[in-house]
Amino acid sequence: MGKQQHKRRQMRRIRTEKRKRWIESRRWIDEHHLGPRSRSGSGEVQNLIRIKRYRHEAWHALFDLPGNQCRTIDEIIALLVRLRDAKRRQKRKR
Ligand SMILES: [Zn+2]
């Protein structure tokens, strides 16, 4: 097998693996704590939402603080409101 062909097969194998993991992650439903467990969020139903695993992973990738410190839903809302307001102010200046 030539070097190029070997490389192509390797790339295809990696893509297949990634795709399998993506499909697998969409099958599962996770329970997410709106008030993080790490900050004494309860396991009661009022504190939990059920979301697909791939969305759950994306949520934490997007909103967690460095050191895997989770934000509460209220902190995330406040963050998004600050971001929106900052963008509005920026637009007015132009
Ligand atoms: Zn979570």
Region 82-92 average pLDDT: 92
What's the gap in Å between 87 CA and the centre of ligand 1? 28
> Ligand 1 mean position to 60 CA, how many Å?
6
Residue 86 Cα, ligand 1 centroid: separation in angstroms?
27
Residue 45 Cα to ligand 1 middle (Å) = 14
> What's the CA-to-centroid distance between 13 and ligand 1, angstroms?
30
CA torsion through residues 48, 38, 60, 73, sign: positive
* Whole-prediction pTM: 0.65
The residue with greater pLDDT, 38 or 83, is 83
pLDDT digits (tens, 9 = 90+) for 25-61: 778 899 999 999 988 889 999 999 999 988 999 999 9
Q: Could you state, in order of their start, the residue ranges of all structural domains in the chain?
A: 28-93
